[in-house]
Amino acid sequence: MDRLARPYDLAVRLRGGEVVLTAWSTAFTAPGVMAELAAAGYPAITFDMQHGIHNIATLADAIPRVVAHGTAPIVRVPVGDFASASRAVDYGATAVIAPMIDSAEDARRFVSHVKYLPLGQRSWGPAASMRLAGVSDPAAWLAGANDATLAFAMIESRPALDALDDILRVPGLDGVFIGPADLSIALTNGARFAPSAEETQETAARVAAKAVAAGKLAGAFAVSTADAKRAAAAGFRLIALGVDFALLHEAARATLASFASDGTAAKGGRGGY
Ligand code: 3PY
Ligand code: MG
């Protein structure tokens, strides 16, 4: 398969060292909401099926809308739901993030649903993704899909940290992805939610260093711009920054505050409302 056009070149860009920010879509199913995030310039949007509202039908509606803006669709599946990982890539996800991967065996099972033989046992059914990626030759798709479709295992528990070296050796696993909230809860044995705490961030940076040394990609969720910048400096390349409902909430508050403070509504629309 020739190099795929944006946004299906996400794997090439990340492997080339580019930092790619992804918005996190969790509270809204309306494809127009995702299209707005894409139009605002997010290079990727992650649809959350673990804690968010998404299901396969909402993905199938929204993914073409964001792809039309050149934005890469990524899906986080529910815990242990690797069948949804297969369906997500069939509907056009460029990458899948699997939460709570605690062992090499978990990682192998996850990979087996995202990659075709010989790396996995993904079953054939990519009509929607081929259409979105602009590939019409099934042979070309089969030859290139394993490289172009990324599998990220979330590292966010004690067992995952203990098994990290083994997880990083799993063939076909493209990268690891830090969940700093769960990681902080794990590191404090349930005592604290502290995604930005020094211990959490340092542990995350050590995971990134190991991933990079093993030739894998590192990704992370960031709860602030400061954490996102720190992640980029630590070698993370796929960085989640900005959750849909929070982006809307913060823009609404800023707009109201701007009117209250100086009489100027900063975000009254783009002139085309
Ligand atoms: C975490 O921080 O635990 C996550 O899973 C981010 O969504
Ligand atoms: Mg988590």
Per-residue pLDDT of the chain (273 residues; tens, 9 = 90+): 767 889 999 999 999 999 999 999 999 999 999 999 999 999 999 999 999 999 999 999 999 999 999 999 999 999 999 999 999 999 999 999 999 999 999 999 999 999 999 999 999 999 999 999 999 999 999 999 999 999 999 999 999 999 999 999 999 999 999 999 999 999 999 999 999 999 999 999 999 999 999 999 999 999 999 999 999 999 999 999 999 999 999 999 999 999 888 655 555 555 555
Spell out which residues line ligand 1, taking CB within 6 angstroms. Answer: 99, 156, 179-182, 195, 221
Residue 252: which H helix or E strand, with range?
helix 244-262
Q: Where in 102-216 does DSSP place strands (E)?
A: 150-155, 175-178
Domain assignment of residue 270, yes or no: no
The model carries a pTM of 0.96
**How far is the C-alpha of 92 from the C-alpha of 31, rounded, in Å?**
15
Domain assignment of residue 3, yes or no: no
**Ligand that comes closest to the CA of residue 195:** 1
The CB density around residue 94, as the number of other CB atoms within 10 Å, is 27
Burial of 270 (0-12, 13-18, 19+ CB in 10 A): exposed
**How far is the C-alpha of 172 from the C-alpha of 95, rounded, in Å?**
13
Q: Domain residues for 93? A: 10-262
Domain assignment of residue 271, yes or no: no
Instruction: Report pLDDT for 264.
Output: 57
Domain assignment of residue 127, yes or no: yes
Query: Could you give the residue numbers annotated as active site?
Result: 51
For a substitution probing ligand 1, which of 75, 76, 156 has the most ligand atoms within 8 Å of its CB?
A: 156
CATH number of the CATH domain containing 158: 3.20.20.60
Kindly report the protein residue whose alpha carbon is nearest to atom 4 of ligand 1.
179
Into how many domains does the chain fold? Answer: 1
Domain assignment of residue 273, yes or no: no
Domain assignment of residue 133, yes or no: yes
Domain assignment of residue 2, yes or no: no
Domain assignment of residue 272, yes or no: no
